[in-house]
Structures are given as structure tokens and as C-alpha cells.
Chains A and B, each alone.
Chain A
Amino acid sequence: MPGDHRRIRGPEESQPPQLYAADEDEAPAARDPTRLRPVYARAGLLSQAKGSAYLEAGGTKVLCAVSGPRQAEGSERGSGPAGAGGEAPAALRGRLLCDFRRAPFAGRRRRAPPGGGEERELALALQEALEPAVRLGRYPRAQLEVSALLLEDGGSALAAALTAAALALADAGVEMYDLVVGCGLSRTPEPAPTWLLDPTRLEEEHAAAGLTVALMPVLNQVAGLLGSGEGGPTESWAEAVRLGLEGCQRLYPVLQQCLVRAARRRGAAAPS
């Protein structure tokens, strides 16, 4: 892989030894398709960020930080029809800038930090899923920066990043309509294709199709949807979306408790 030749003296191209290993036919073990891995969530752990959250689900570890609202660069002065609820006109609405980064050691192969297309795509997916939930009209001419860092990819990375980002935004005190909860799914290949909720990395690698759904649980609105692969007919995808939405609803109480605990911790620390 092209490396930084000034700092690292090494061969031009380097590969991990697993590529030359004999085929390890490690098929993922059969399991209950609707099981969710136990989740550990903690909000308010970074001192330098306005809001932050860490989420761990199985082997997936995501850290998310929110900063802002800061003055937006290149904010144009415009006036247009005001939105409902006394919010700023469309030209003055706040912006949400999302950044998704993978640590170089997150996956099986080392990936140098400018990850290229995939990270931009996931950052765009994050932004499209978080925008319906954040009241951007209350932050005119300002921008909120959300940056998600994937420390280890153990399956359903985008879903974990979405959930962590929503927790971080809530921890930062940003006005939101509702939390956003993300859930990943993957479809086992033929024969007998079934949709599995919250796949591990091994299940994702062997999958024929993958899907991530983001739900706003109280409003029951789908905030984000991204899926691709050989998923079969529309009925199969509809069933997957339903399964994902159910998974999101089951995850919601854990996140509520996490935010309550973080608020209590902040409250206990403040008076001193």
C-alpha cells in the first residue's frame, strides 16, 4: 500500500500475511436472527468536546464528539420566508457537518487515514440521518461539527456510529426533536437466506446484502436508510426494514438510561 516514504522506510507494497494463508472456511455460527448484542454506552467522557459519547456493541467500538455551534464559514446573508415555530428562514438555517473516520487498525487490513470514498459516503449517510432530528433552525448561521471515530470494526459500524453521534449531540445540549437509533442487518447468502439483526464482522463478510436503518423511536420516523447487495425481492427488504426498526426500539431504553446517568454525573460534579 502506498505509504509515507519520508517517515516510514519500508517496501513499496505491503500486504498482511493472512492473504496468503490457506482458505479458512470459517462460517459464522447459526444464531437467533433477532438477537441484539449487549450495548455499553457512555456519554460525556471527553473534556475538550461540547458533547461526546462512546458506544461499544460486541466488537464494535465507536467514539463520537460534537463541537459547536460555531459561526459557519461562508454563511450568506439572506432572508426568505420564515419556517414554522419562529425558526430561522431557510437561507439562515444552521449546518451539520459530519465526519466519519476509521482508525487504521480498525479492520482486518491496515487502512491509511485518508480513507477515500467509503468514509465520505458514510459521513454523508450520518449527516442525512441526523438532520431530521436536529432543530437546525434554532442555530442560524452556525455549524455543528460531529466527528465519529471507529476504533474497532466488529460489525454494524455505521449503525453504532449513528447511535453514538445522536447521544453525543444530546450530551452537548443541542436541541433535537428526538434521538436517532441505528441498527445494522445483513442477509445470509443462498441457500436459505435470512436477515440477521446486528451482524458481527464475520457475518458481514459472508453476507450477500447489508442494510442500516436509523429510527427516531418516539416519533416513529425513519431518519436514515442505506442498504445494498443481493437482497432479493422488495418483500425481503421490507421484512428487513421492519426487523431493523424493531431492533432500534429495543435499544432505546439503554440509551435513555445512559443519558440520565451522564446528566446525574454532570449535576454531581457542577456544584463543587
Chain B
Amino acid sequence: MASVALSEAEKVYIVHGVQEDLRVDGRGCEDYRCVEVETDVVSNTSGSARVKLGHTDILVGVKAEMGTPKLEKPNEGYLEFFVDCSANATPEFEGRGGDDLGTEIANTLYRIFNNKSSVDLKSLCISPREHCWILYVDVLLLECGGNLFDTICIAVKAALFNTRIPRVRVLEDEEGSKDIELSDDPYDCIRLSVENVPCIVTLCKIGYRHVVDATLQEEACSLASLLVSVTSTGVVTCMRKVGKGSLDPESIFEMMETGKRVGKVLHASLQSVLHKEESLGPKRPKVGFLG
């Protein structure tokens, strides 16, 4: 990730502050920074979302295309993730520099969506063994300000909520040849249910306590973090230790509990924001990249 040079004194200041539950910008250990979510920012996609969390800026576009289902799962469609760390985010990502981080994030996303309950893949099937919808989820890192995984997962959830897949019918001729018919009405589409899509909560261990939503400076002070992916009901779908250091088993249990608590609150607020945005309808003021 983007690295920032910190002096020893600054590190000590951050660590001592966290011990007292007081971070540099005045937040508590379990508080998120202000999140701005906006959906439907890119018109050529089936669904898109832009999320800004402090200085971290993520743009996600979802494109739905028709293809053949995988051999092992002939009745389901699937999702393909691609993460691009653009050079705008930090100079380190120039050229192929951002590829490693991009693959790591994409693999984590695959892992999170790898279970049956996250997204209803059966609704993406058009005709078993022959046609299905493949959702290409493309994540673009515009600016890196710490806490990438959380922001990306929020953006993916918002983009999937916004995705509108056109309704398609397979017609069979007398000779048996199949023809695909697209519905004439552009507003006739299927929506995905994102109730069970999980959100990632990254807990960074700083000193003896852990913090949620670390900035770049706080990430530089922490040796190890735990990444927990929680659904809105508190079910954990993925757990991963990130970083060069090791974690105490007791602190892992504490971090999981904190992750679950924070995750539930995050889900509730994200759902309410998405529903409110949708209820404003086509007349809502679009901020886009100018705000």
C-alpha cells in the first residue's frame, strides 16, 4: 500500500493516543471517517458506485454480459473481479507497481463472495448449461488514503445494489435453434438482492489496542491487522491476518467481536443511505466528480 514516512516521535504519539482511545483526528477507536456514497455515476455500465472515505476514493463499475456457465455449476452465473490500482493513487503504482496489490484485493473479494449466501447466483442463470449472466465487477483505485479493503467492499455492495440486468428470454424455434430476445422496455430489468453481501472491517493492531478505519499514518504504526468480513446479521464469512507481525490469540477474539459490532452498524447505515438515494428517483441531484 502507499507508504508514508513517519518519525519515531510521531509513531509514539499515535500509539500513546490510541491507548487512551483518542486518535489524531479526534475519533474513537471504533469510529469510521465520514463516508460519501454515490451510485449510478458511470452511464455505460449496468451499475456503478463511487465511495469516498476520508482521502480514499474508489470507483466501481459492474457490467453484465452473457456467457456460458462454469462446468461444475451449470445452474448459476458468476462474478469476476478485477482491481486496478491506478498511478493517480500513489506514485508507487506506476507501471506494474500496483499489480500485486490489485491481485491481493481481487483474491480477497473472490474469497468473500465464494459462498452460497452472499449473492443469489441462481437468479443469474438464463438457461442451464448454456447461458448465464457474468457480472464483471471492475474496481478502480483513484486515491489511496488508508483502509482500502473496507472502502472497496462498500463500493462493490453499492454498485451491485445499483446494477440493473436486462431481462432476457430464450426462444426456441421449430428446428430447435435457440434465439435470445432482449426485452423492449429499457426499464424492465432484474435487480440483485444485496441483503447478504458482506462488508469488510479491517482492525489494525496498534500497541495493545485495535482501531477501525486506520489512516495511512496509523497503518504505518501497526504491524498486523485482522480483516473480517461480516454480513448484516453478524455472520462472519471471511477472516484474514494481514501484515508482517503476529497477533496474540486473545486479541484475535477481541478483534472479531469488535468487527462484528462495527460491521452491523456499518451495514445498517449503508442500507439506509442506499435506499434513501434510490427513493429520490431519477430527479436526484448528481454530484459525480465535481463535488
Contacts and interface: CB of A to CB of B under 8 A. Distances in A.
Contacts of B104: 120-121, 124
A57 interface: no
Interface string A108-144: 0000000001101100100011011100000000000
Contacts of B243: 128
Interface in A17-46: 19
Given A117-B110, A132-B246, A237-B256, A227 B238 contact: yes
A81 B241 contact: no
B88 interface: no
Contacts of B242: 128
B42 interface: no
A55 B50 CA distance: 47
Contact of B241 (A225, A228, A237): A225
A105 to B, nearest CB: 19
B239 interface: yes
Contacts of B111: 121, 228
Interface string A200-212: 0000000011010
A61 B234 CA distance: 37
A19 B71 contact: yes
Nearest to B255: A234
B246 A211 contact: no
Contact of A234 (B71, B117, B234, B240): B234
Interface in B241-259: 241-249, 252-253, 256-257, 259
B249 A234 contact: no
Nearest to A215: B249
Interface in B89-119: 103-104, 106-107, 110-112, 114-117
A219 B234 CA distance: 31
A234 B229 CA distance: 11
Interface residues of A, number: 38
A225 B240 contact: yes
Given A128-B244, A230-B116, A238-B256, A211 B239 contact: yes
Nearest to B245: A132
A196 B110 CA distance: 24
Contacts of A124: 104, 107
Contacts of B116: 230
Nearest to B226: A225
A211 B245 CA distance: 19
Interface residues of B, number: 40
Nearest to B228: A234
Please classify the interface of chain A as helix (H, G, I), strand (E, B), loop, or mixed, using the class held by over half of its residues: mixed
Interface in A176-231: 208-209, 211, 216, 219-231
B238 A232 contact: no
Contacts of B114: 228-229
A253 interface: no
A224 B241 contact: yes
Contacts of A230: 115-117, 235, 237
A108 to B, nearest CB: 11
A241 interface: yes
Interface of B: 7-8, 71-72, 103-104, 106-107, 110-112, 114-117, 224, 226, 229, 234-249, 252-253, 256-257, 259-260
Minimum-distance CB pairs A-B, first 3: A221-B246, A132-B246, A225-B241
25 contacts: A117-B110, A120-B103, A128-B243, A128-B244, A132-B224, A208-B115, A209-B115, A211-B239, A219-B246, A221-B247, A221-B249, A222-B248, A222-B249, A223-B241, A225-B226, A225-B247, A228-B115, A228-B238, A228-B239, A229-B114, A230-B235, A230-B237, A232-B235, A233-B260, A237-B256
